[in-house]
Structure 1
Amino acid sequence: MKKNTIQNSMRFLLLLAFLGISQTVLSQENTLPKAKTSGFWDHVQFGGGFGLAIGNGFTDITIAPSAIYNFNEFFALGTGLQYSRLKQKNFYSSNVVGGSVIGLFNPLEEIQLSLEVEQVHVSTTYTDLYDNVKRSFWNTGLYVGGGYRADNVTIGARFNLLFDKDKDLYGDAFMPFIRVYF
């Protein structure tokens, strides 16, 4: 009986030592001091998007640079510009020009939530056998989104709260995204 008590006590002490060492090693990961920066540009990240699709009489080009300012590890605010040119030979052409303001919230390192307001001007021309039909309008989007973040890349989706299928530039309120900032 005494031998079992000693063995159980040794196992318990080894378990405590292992847990203590593990906790110490794991806690060392976050205790390193971070360099404090006070310059404005030290908190700015640049990113954006570029798209190109070319086919048989079809061209789609999108350029969308953006920048964000990181207030801290949780909050960032930024702005972006957008230009898109879409053309289907002998049928359709469109120019989209505008900008956006985005707020980012990172409640956890791997999770990014966003709120974005986008205002773009859309100018389209439809061509049929008899004439050209031109349409020009402003499109406003208010997007809430969320995604998985790994370093400077976030993959997720956003939803346009102001979506109107009869008046909107996009075909759906739900839009997946990949967001990259350097």
Structure 2
Amino acid sequence: MKNNHRSRFSNRYLILTILFVSFSLTAQFQNRNTNNSNNFWDNVQFGGGLGLSIGSGYTDISVAPSAIYNVNQYFSIGLGAQYTYAKQRNFYTSNLYGGSLITLFNPLPEIQLSAELEQLRVNVSGISPNNFTDNFWNTGLFLGAGYRSGNATIGVRYNVLFKENNRAYSDAFMPFVRFYF
């Protein structure tokens, strides 16, 4: 119980620190750009990702729209939403939905580094070996790297808050394909 309390405290502290840094950076960049005559919407891009995984008795469908604001050619911040439906025949069905804060950094035009703070509601209904339901919140902090070409980025991200028993994700590493237009 004591370790669980410490873990929750450290996760909350980490999340609050990231939010503070993100908002501080946003405020600094906005102050710098107040004399710029660019329209806000000229720097906004919409996109996200779609996922589909179908196998023998398994289905996983994901929709993850997002919008980013390009602060400059190197740095972008944004918001995302996510819905995932997953089903393993004769075992379980789950629905995951929530939102995320996204930060992208492009040190070179072809390289994209990312940090994404994600909060998901997870609803799981099991069939085998006995009927069960489980509903919980899952927080993920993903650090990623990818190769960018035009509007698309392909890469991998790592959930630094991953725990083996949370049943929201099966692995801490996750490949991604991201599009922004």
TM (norm. structure 1) is 0.73
The within-5 A match list for 1:142-161 is: 142-161=141-160
SS in 2 for 1:60: strand
Instruction: Give the Cα separation in 2 of the matches to 1:90 and 1:159.
Output: 30
Q: CA deviation at 1:116?
A: 0.7
RMSD of Structure 2 on Structure 1 (CA): 1.9
The within-5 A match list for 1:57-96 is: 58-96=58-96
SS in 2 for 1:145: strand
Deviations 1:137-174 (A, max 9, x none): 11111111111111211111111111111225111111
* Structure 1, gaps ≥5 residues long: 1-35
Instruction: Give the Cα separation in 2 of the matches to 1:37 and 1:53.
Output: 45
Q: CA deviation at 1:177?
A: 1.2
SS in 2 for 1:38: coil
* Structure 2, gaps ≥5 residues long: 1-35
Greater Cα radius of gyration, structure 1 or 2: 1
Aligned length: 146
Instruction: Give the Cα separation in 2 of the matches to 1:99 and 1:75.
Output: 20
SS in 2 for 1:166: coil
Specify the alignment match of 1:138 in structure 2: 137
Label 1:52 to 1:159 Cα distance change in 2 as closer, same or farther (>3 A): closer
Deviations 1:71-128 (A, max 9, x none): 1101100111011111234321101011111101111111111111011010101113
The within-5 A match list for 1:15-94 is: 38-54=38-54, 58-94=58-94
SS in 1 for 2:42: helix
Label 1:133 to 1:64 Cα distance change in 2 as closer, same or farther (>3 A): same
TM (norm. structure 2) is 0.74
SS in 1 for 2:142: strand
Specify the alignment match of 2:21 in structure 1: none
